[in-house]
C-alpha cells in the first residue's frame, strides 16, 4: 500500500502482524502498577473498543502483556511501517488543505528526530503524549483525510471522538487533554486514568501538534541566559552556566548557552539521549569522569571558551563537587522533568540509571523516598553556591515546588515564598510577557529549506522596520530577536519540520504573518502554519511559571487560558487546544494553544489580524489588571492603535494609606 492508502485506511480490517520491541529506540519507562484487577479488565475493554469483535480474542493476551510490562496499552502492532516525519503538504491525502497541514504537524511531533519516546507516542517531558495508543493515531489521520471545510474533528485526550458538522470559519480541530474534575487531578490520578485509556497528558505543544523540536526552547533559553547574565551585570564570555536535563525540552539548554556565549555544563543520567544530543550537535563534549569535567571547566573558564559540556551522571554530584573544588558557578538552574518526579522525570543520586528504572516500576514508594532525599541534597548544594554569589533561578520545571514538598531548605524567611525566583518572575515576565513578547512560531508546509530562509528574511525585514519606531521600553527585545533571526540559519536549529521561532508582540506577529500571507499569494513560498508555545503571554495560567509574576492573588485562577482558547476558536484559528498539565505538572497548570494555516487568501489575512491581536492582548490585559507596570504600558499602547479595544485599567493604591 502507498503512504496515502495507509493514511486513508485508518485501523486496518485485517490486523497486521505483531511487531518486535525495538530496543534501539528511546522508550518510556515502565509506569507503576496502579490498577486493580477489575480496572485492568476495564482498561482492556476500553482498548478493544477500537477493533472488530472478531479480533478481540487475539488482542486480549497481547494487550494484557503490554499493560503488565509497560503499565500502558500502546498497541505496538499498529505502528505504521512508513517513516514518521513531516512530509510536504502535497503528499497528504485529503479534501481540505487545513486538515493536511494538521497531519503534517502530527507526524512532525512523532518524528524519531523530534519525539522523546516515539513508539509510545510521547513527544517530550517523559509523558507529553500526542496520542495514548496507535489506534487513536490511525483513526485521527483517517478522519483528517476525509474532512471537508464544513466539519470539525473533536479530540478527547488523544481519542478522535469524530467529525461533526460545522462551517468553514470554525476550527478544523478542537483538542482537549487531561481536563479532569479538579478533585481528580493528582499525579496518581493521571497514572490511573491514563492506564485506563481515558485521558492523557498533552504537555504544552505535544498534544496540540505544535512542537518544533528543541528549537522553541533554545530561543527562550537563550533569552533567559542572556538576560540572566545582564541581571548579574556579567558578560557571558568565560562564565559558567550549570543545569541538568538533555531530554525533550531540556536538551536545548547547552545549545542556548553556546548561542549566548558562555561555558555550559549540563548533567543527564540517560546515556541514550546524551548520545543523541551529541550526534545532533546540541552539545560539544560528553564527560563521564567528574575529575575530568572539573579540569575541563577550569580550562574553558580560563580560555574564555564558548563550549557545552555534558556530564553523563547525576547533577547533584556536579553541584557538590564544584563546591568542594571552589569552582564558581555564575548562573544555575535545572530542567529535569520534575512535573513528573515519580515516573522518570528526575533520578536519585547514587543509584544507576537501570537500577532506578527498575525501582520506579517495582518499588515506587522507595523510589519516591530516594528522589526526595536527592532533592534535599540538590537544594543544599545549590544553597552553598548561592552563598558564594551564584545566581540560581527555577526554570519552570517545578524544581522548587517538589524540593519544598520533599522538605528541602528552599523557603524564604517568610515561610511562604521560595528562596529563589522563577525565571518568569525575574526575567521573562517583566522583560517579555508583560510587554506582549512571546514565542511566535511558524512551519513551512512545503518542507523546503529555501522557503524557511525566505520567511526568515521576511521576518527580519519586518522587525528591523518596526524597531525604527518602537518605544524605548521594547528596544532591547526587538534587538535580541533581530540578532536571533539573523543567526538562525547558521545555528542549524531545524530538527524535523522546516520551522522557526522568535519572540514577538502582537504587532510583530500580525505584521510578520501578513507578510507571509502576501508572499504565499504571490507564489513566492508555500503555505505556512502559524502557532506558538503555550508558554506565552496569555495562553497559560501557571502559578509557579507563566503567571508567577502575577501578584494580585489571581495567579491560581485559570480564566485567562480558558478565555484565550475560546476567543481564538471564533476569531479564526485552524485548531485550538486546552490542556491540564504541562511543564510544571498535572493539576498545576491550565494551558491553551492554537494553530493557524496561512494560504495566501484574503480570508486568512482577516483571520490572522483578528486572532493574533486577541491571542496576545488577552494576556496583557490580565497582567495589566494585576498592576504589572510593563503590561499597563503595553495595553495603553494597544488601545491607541485599536479604537475598538477598551480595557479596564487599575487604579494604583498609595501603600501608605494601607
Q: And the C-alpha cell for 88?
A: 510536504
> Which of these, 540, 577, 561, 528, lies nearest to 173 by C-alpha position?
577
- Sequence-separated (6 or more) residues with CB below 8 Å from residue 289: none
Q: How far does CA 635 lie from the centroid of its chain?
A: 27
What are the backbone dihedrals phi and psi of residue 246, each rounded to the nearest 5 degrees, phi first?
-125, 15
Residue 20 has a CB neighbour count (10 Å cut-off) of: 7
d(CA 590, CA 423): 19
Q: What is the full DSSP assignment across 482-546?
A: HHHHHHTTTTT---SSSEEEEEE-HHHHHHHHHHHHHHHHTTSS--EEEEE-SSSSSSEE-TTTT
Q: Which residues are annotated as a binding site for NAD(+)?
A: 125-126, 203, 268, 395, 583
Q: How far apart are CA 497 and CA 445, in angstroms?
A: 8
Q: Which residues contact 592 (CB under 8 A, 6 or more apart)?
A: 534, 539, 540, 561, 562, 564, 565, 568, 576, 577, 578, 579
Report the b/e string of 303-317 with b at 16+ CB within 10 A. Answer: eebbbbbbbbbbbbb
Nearest Cα residue to 197 out of 287, 135, 277, 111: 135
526, 520 contact by CB (below 8 A): yes
Grid coordinates of 565: 482558547
| 3-state SS assignment for residue 176 | strand
State the binding site: 125-126, 203, 268, 395, 583
DSSP 463: H
Q: Please report the DSSP string for 214-230 in residue order.
A: BHHHHHHHHHHHHHHHH
Cβ(64)–Cβ(221) under 8 Å? Answer: no
H runs (alpha helix) in 266-396: 271-279, 290-302, 315-324, 353-362, 364-386
Q: Cα–Cα distances in Å, from 632 out to 9, 78, 260, 425, 435?
A: 53, 53, 30, 17, 9
Cell of 500: 522557526
In whole angstroms, give the CA distance from residue 580 to residue 57: 35
SS3 of residue 377 by DSSP: helix
The Cβ-side half-sphere exposure at 558, using a 13 Å CA radius, reads 18
In this structure, what C-alpha cell is assigned to residue 650? Answer: 487599575
d(C-alpha 31, C-alpha 367), whole Å: 13
How many whole angstroms separate alpha carbon 100 and alpha carbon 42? 35
**Cα 514 to Cα 525: distance, rounded to the nearest angstrom:** 13
Answer whether 543's CB lies under 8 Å from 556's CB: yes
Distance CA 71, CA 73 (A): 7
Amino acid at each position: 500500500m502507498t503512504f496515502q492508502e495507509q493514511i486513508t485506511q485508518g485501523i486496518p480490517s485485517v490486523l497486521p502482524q505483531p511487531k518486535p520491541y525495538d530496543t534501539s529506540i528511546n522508550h518510556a519507562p515502565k509506569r507503576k502498577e496502579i490498577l486493580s484487577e477489575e480496572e485492568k479488565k476495564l482498561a482492556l475493554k476500553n482498548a478493544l473498543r477500537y477493533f472488530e469483535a472478531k479480533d478481540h480474542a487475539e488482542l486480549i493476551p497481547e494487550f494484557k502483556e503490554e499493560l503488565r510490562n509497560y503499565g500502558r496499552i500502546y498497541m505496538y502492532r499498529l505502528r505504521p511501517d512508513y517513516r514518521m516525519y513531516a512530509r510536504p503538504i502535497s503528499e497528504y491525502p485529503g479534501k481540505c488543505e487545513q486538515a493536511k497541514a494538521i497531519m503534517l504537524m502530527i507526524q512532525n511531533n512523532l518524528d524519531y528526530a523530534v519525539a522523546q519516546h516515539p513508539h509510545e507516542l510521547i513527544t517530550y517531558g517523559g509523558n507529553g503524549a500526542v496520542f495514548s495508543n496507535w489506534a487513536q493515531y490511525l483513526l485521527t489521520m483517517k478522519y483528517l483525510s476525509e474532512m471537508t471545510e464544513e466539519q470539525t474533528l473533536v479530540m478527547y485526550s488523544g481519542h478522535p471522538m469524530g467529525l461533526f458538522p460545522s462551517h468553514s470559519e470554525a476550527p478544523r480541530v478542537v483538542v482537549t487533554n487531561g481536563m479532569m474534575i479538579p478533585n481528580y487531578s493528582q499525579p496518581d490520578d493521571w497514572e490511573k486514568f491514563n492506564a485506563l485509556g481515558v485521558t492523557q497528558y498533552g504537555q504544552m505543544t505535544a498534544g496540540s501538534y505544535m512542537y518544533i523540536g528543541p528549537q522553541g526552547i533554545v530561543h527562550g533559553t537563550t533569552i533567559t541566559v542572556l538576560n540572566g547574565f545582564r541581571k548579574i551585570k556579567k558578560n557571558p564570555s568565560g562564565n559558567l552556566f550549570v543545569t541538568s536535563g538533555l531530554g525533550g525540552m531540556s536538551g536545548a539548554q547547552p545549545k542556548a548557552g553556546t548561542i549566548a556565549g558562555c561555558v555550559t555544563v549540563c548533567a543527564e543520567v540517560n546515556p541514550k539521549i546524551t548520545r543523541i544530543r551529541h550526534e545532533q550537535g546540541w552539545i560539544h563534549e560528553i564527560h563521564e569522569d567528574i575529575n575530568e569535567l572539573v579540569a575541563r571547566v577550569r580550562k574553558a573558564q580560563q580560555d574564555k571558551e564558548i563550549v557545552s559540556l555534558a556530564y553523563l551522571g547525576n547533577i547533584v554530584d556536579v553541584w557538590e563537587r564544584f563546591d568542594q573544588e571552589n569552582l564558581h558557578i555564575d548562573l544555575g538552574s535545572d530542567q529535569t522533568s520534575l512535573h513528573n518526579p515519580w515516573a522518570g522525570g528526575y533520578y536519585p543520586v547514587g543509584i544507576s540509571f537501570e537500577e532506578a528504572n527498575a525501582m520506579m516500576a517495582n518499588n515506587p514508594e522507595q523510589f519516591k523516598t530516594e528522589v526526595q532525599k536527592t532533592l534535599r541534597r540538590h537544594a543544599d548544594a545549590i544553597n552553598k553556591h548561592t552563598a558564594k554569589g551564584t545566581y540560581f533561578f527555577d526554570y519552570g520545571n517545578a524544581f522548587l515546588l517538589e524540593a519544598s514538598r520533599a522538605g528541602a531548605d528552599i523557603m524564604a524567611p517568610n515561610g511562604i515564598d521560595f528562596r529563589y525566583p522563577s525565571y518568569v518572575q525575574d526575567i521573562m515576565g517583566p522583560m517579555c510577557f508583560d510587554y506582549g513578547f512571546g514565542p511566535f512560531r511558524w512551519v513551512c508546509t512545503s518542507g523546503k529549506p529555501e522557503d524557511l530562509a525566505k520567511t526568515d528574511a521576511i521576518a527580519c525585514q519586518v522587525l528591523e522596520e518596526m524597531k525604527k519606531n518602537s518605544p524605548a521600553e521594547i528596544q532591547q527585545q526587538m534587538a535580541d530577536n533581530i540578532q536571533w533571526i539573523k543567526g538562525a540559519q547558521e545555528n542549524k536549529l531545524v530538527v524535523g519540520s522546516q520551522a522557526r521561532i522568535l519572540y514577538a508582540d502582537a504587532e510583530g506577529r500580525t505584521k510578520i504573518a501578513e507578510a507571509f500571507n502576501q508572499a504565499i499569494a504571490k507564489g513566492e513560498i508555500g503555505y505556512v502554519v502559524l502557532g506558538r508555545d503555550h508558554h506565552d503571554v496569555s495562553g497559560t495560567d501557571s502559578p509557579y511559571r507563566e503567571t508567577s509574576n502575577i501578584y494580585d492573588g489571581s495567579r491560581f485562577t485559570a480564566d485567562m487560558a480558558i478565555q484565550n482558547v475560546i476567543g481564538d476558536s471564533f476569531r479564526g484559528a485552524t485548531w485550538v487546544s486546552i490542556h491540564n498539565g504541562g511543564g510544571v505538572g498535572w493539576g498545576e497548570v491550565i494551558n491553551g494553544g492554537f494553530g493557524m494555516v496561512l494560504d495566501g487568501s484574503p480570508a486568512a489575512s482577516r483571520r490572522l489580524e483578528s486572532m493574533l491581536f486577541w491571542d496576545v492582548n488577552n494576556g496583557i490585559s490580565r497582567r495589566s489588571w494585576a498592576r504589572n507596570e510593563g503590561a499597563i504600558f503595553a495595553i495603553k499602547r494597544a488601545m491607541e492603535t485599536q479604537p475598538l479595544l477598551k480595557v479596564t485599567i487599575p487604579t494604583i493604591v498609595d501603600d501608605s494609606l494601607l
